[in-house]
């Protein structure tokens, strides 16, 4: 299937499969059936087979999938066979936690720039990266050759932060702020609102207790 034609829902599940495959490899498992992948990823086996067919991931009858080969194929489709340069906007509690998360570097996401509006933080060094003034984003984010911007700012500052990184030439944004961003069509945005996720869990927990 040509690039860009993989269904969005399938793309969202590929990282889940990659995580499952990494876990299997770490345990010395070389081949895995779709049933094993279903158990590891908590996704229906039929759905897994359908998703993998979109990327040419074909298993061997009676043996299943070659774990290393399939992981490599998924990583290639996700663009994880290269390194991505990331700018973090907002060095508060969430920003500090994101900088300290080793999983980013392990998967090829390198934080090369950190911005904050607090002048008391500007100039300090965090994991070898100097915190810069958010006001300088449009003029400096390009110098860092940033591929992806991560917004860890309050909701009221999110749109301004998005405007700044877009003005600087960034085409991909991961938004942790509880706000809907208005960006040009060519800019990709993924939003993670932790409060929304908690509210969804609240719904299921409430109804479980009600039953």
Question: Residue range 19-45: average pLDDT?
Answer: 93
Q: What integer pLDDT is reported at residue 56 of this predicted model?
A: 83
CB 171 within 8 A of CB 187: yes
The tens digit of pLDDT for each residue in 106-138 reads 888 999 999 999 999 999 999 999 999 999 999
User: Is it the case that residue 3 has pLDDT exceeding 50?
Assistant: no
The pLDDT-based confidence of 2 (bands split at 50, 70, 90) is: very low
- Same fold for the pair 8-77 and 84-195: no
Domain 8-77 has CATH 1.10.10.10: yes
CB 6 within 8 A of CB 77: yes
Sorted by where each begins, the domain ranges of the chain are 8-77, 84-195
The tens digit of pLDDT for each residue in 94-105 reads 999 999 998 888
Tell me the C-alpha distance between 86 and 95, whole Å.
Answer: 13
Can you give the three-state secondary structure of the chain, one letter per residue? Answer: CCCCCCCHHHHHHHHHHHHHHHHHHHCCCCEECHHHHHHHHCCCHHHHHHHHHCCCCCCECCCEEEHHHHHHHHHHHCCCCCCEEEEEECCCHHHHHHHCCHHHHHCCEEEEEEEECCCCCCCCEECCEEEEEHHHHHHHCCCCCCCEEEECCCHHHHHHHHHHHHHCCCCEEEECCCCCCCCCCCCEEEECCHHHHHHHHHHHHHHHHHC
Tell me the C-alpha distance between 92 and 95, whole Å.
Answer: 5
Which is more confident, 209 or 50?
50
Q: What integer pLDDT is reported at residue 210 of this predicted model?
A: 59
Question: Residue range 38-47: average pLDDT?
Answer: 93
The CATH architecture one would assign to domain 84-195 is: 3-Layer(aba) Sandwich (3.40)
């Amino acid at each position: 299937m040509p690039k860009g034609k993989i269904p969005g829902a399938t793309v969202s599940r590929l990282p889940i499969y990659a995580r499952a495959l990494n876990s299997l490899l770490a345990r010395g498992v070389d081949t895995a059936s779709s049933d094993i992948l279903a158990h590891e990823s908590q996704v229906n086996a039929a759905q897994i087979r359908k998703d993998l067919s979109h990327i040419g991931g074909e298993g061997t009858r009676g043996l299943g999938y070659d774990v290393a080969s399939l992981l490599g194929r998924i990583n290639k489709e996700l663009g994880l066979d290269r390194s991505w340069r990331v700018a973090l906007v907002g060095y508060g509690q969430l920003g500090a936690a994101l900088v300290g998360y080793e999983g980013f570097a392990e998967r090829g996401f390198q934080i090369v720039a950190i911005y904050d509006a607090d002048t008391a933080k500007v100039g300090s060094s965090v994991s070898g990266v100097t915190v810069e003034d958010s006001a300088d984003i449009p003029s400096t984010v390009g110098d860092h050759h940033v591929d992806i911007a991560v917004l860890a700012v309050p909701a009221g500052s999110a749109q301004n932060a998005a405007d700044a990184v877009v003005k600087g030439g960034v085409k991909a944004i991961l938004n942790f702020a509880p706000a809907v961003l208005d960006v040009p069509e060519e800019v990709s945005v993924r939003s993670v609102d932790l409060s929304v996720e908690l509210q969804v869990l609240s719904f299921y927990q409430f109804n479980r207790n009600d039953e």
